[in-house]
Amino acid sequence: MRFASGAERRAVTAASGLAAYVVALTGWRRAGLAIAAGALSVLALAPFFLWPVLFVTMPVLVWLVDGARGAAVRDCLPDVYGATRRAFSAGWLFGLGYFAAGLFWIGEAFLVEAEIFAWLMPFAVTILPAGLALFWGLATAAAQRFWHQGLSRVLTLAVSLGAIEWIRGHIFTGFPWNALGYMLTSTDALMQSAAVFGVYALSLWAVLIFAAPLVLLADAGAEPAADNGAARAKCRPAVAALAIAGLPLVLAWSWGAIRLASDDAPDVAGVQFRIVQPSIPQRDKWLGEKQGDIFRAHLGLSRQKATGEVDDLSGITHVVWPEAAMPFRPLDHPEALETIKGLLGTSVYLFAGALRVAAPPPAADGVAVPSGRPKAFNSLMVFGPGGGLVALYDKIHLVPFGEYLPWQSTLEWIGLQQLTRQRGGFSTGPQPRQPLRVAGLPPVIILICYEAIFPGEAVQTAERPGLIINVTNDGWFGNTTGPRQHFHQSRVRAVEEGLPLIRSANNGISAMVDAKGRVRSKLGMNERGVIDTTLPAALPATLYVRFGSLILICHLAFFAACAIRLRRN
């Protein structure tokens, strides 16, 4: 191997030394490094976006799998069993660190009513990360079966992790939180690539871009000395590393910058939104004696400009309240509907998160089924001028253990309950999700809370909407990274779909985001106030909208073909 400078030689020597150290680790040192590397990788995500750390942590995962294969031979274990078991361990431990550091904030929800749920917090903050880490363990175990020295193994790992991230986002109702692809969406310019590839396909690129450079440098240091002719036939390792990492990043950023600089269509004429963020403490949310105050807080904020000056909705056409804005069932309270009528006057529409309960279905003879239980829904209601209900959306993707329990009746019988304490849990609304039609607006897609984290699932019909409204209540999770991760993922949905996003949070981050993911205006954590904004225009359907999962399939096939080709060389 030839080097252009002493600096390049020192870089290769340092990388190969680090690789040899990781490969040789055993026992608790190996486990500790895997967990630490996974945990540090979370720094690449919102709100930190310190993605350069991945140039070290992702190679560590590759070298841990290298060590798993070598250890199987050293310990005289059957090669298939030993390598697979140790590779699974490497991926699981790395994933444990990643998901524990990325999801620790879930524990905050169990402290809202600590006297009831605090005992469950240790289980939530350990069992969930450990369960999600199983997916990454399976990915590394599968990858090692096709492992081969050189860049081929990085591509193999990219295929395996890319496929498992898609599975994680779909199996058992799915939970694609902090998918690897978000590591390549840290800036507005880089985020534009989601419009072409989607987050799942970007996950493959993330593994390749961040793992390959240091792995290639380390491999160069481990190669035996070659004659001059062979050396000339090889590309210098630093050049190869820079090309693999730098070229995709430069191309993605450049294309994104050009896309952002292109002219945007005019805002939708005649539309003026007011987005309300009341910042109600979560513990107060469901106290009966607080319900009236909470309702009045929403009404008062709706009548004010961002400056605090009362304008009684002058010039406003649509108001958005957050998830469960009314902690009671407004359709069952005529006085609440009368108050809403007084707020809206003759020309304003209100989007409001609320709860509703539907009676059990009648039997064939018209008599209610005796054993039937009323169904509760987490809903978004649209009230029109005059206070009447003009549109309704019932949440279809419920939060496990938050809005329902698996095996609901059995777990309730032994005394367990979900965090919302809704007896019987919430029910899912009709599927597929249908756009709402509200006067003055293009068709509207409603996403309640974490429905915004699912790539490719926002729009479920052939009709092209013109707007996404995401109402949420991130007050459950305190002033942590969780609400900030949630907001970033919702912005990526806007880019993938090419649709503007209005986000109203009880507490969290409320914002107006245009169809390219740019934040026009926002309210941060623990801020109480409103946002007055026009409606940005939607973009034509993106490549990701047009081809969806086919893009991921093509990526998996391309990366796999490249890995096979390199392995044969």
Q: Which residues are marked as active site?
A: 323, 395, 449
How far is Cα 282 from Cα 506, in angstroms, rounded to an integer? 9
Using DSSP's 3-state secondary structure scheme, residue 203 falls into: helix
Strands (E), 83-237: none
Q: Per 3-state DSSP, what percentage of the chain is helix, strand, and coil (rounded to 5)?
A: 55, 15, 35
Using DSSP's 3-state secondary structure scheme, residue 475 falls into: helix
Burial of residue 309 (number of CB atoms within 10 Å: 0-12, 13-18, 19+):
exposed
- Residue 197 in contact with residue 551, Cβ under 8 Å? yes
Tokens of 79: 């090669």
Residues 6+ apart with CB under 8 A from 258: none
Distances in whole angstroms, Cα of residue 105 to Cα of each of 30, 49, 125, 294: 26, 18, 8, 25
How far is Cα 204 from Cα 181, in angstroms, rounded to an integer? 7
Adjacent-strand bridge partners of 351: 320, 382
Using DSSP's 3-state secondary structure scheme, residue 6 falls into: helix
How far is Cα 400 from Cα 465, in angstroms, rounded to an integer? 28
DSSP sequence for 208-244: HHHHHHHHHHHHHHHSPP--HHHHHHSPPHHHHHHHH
Strand (E) or helix (H) holding 139 = helix 121-144
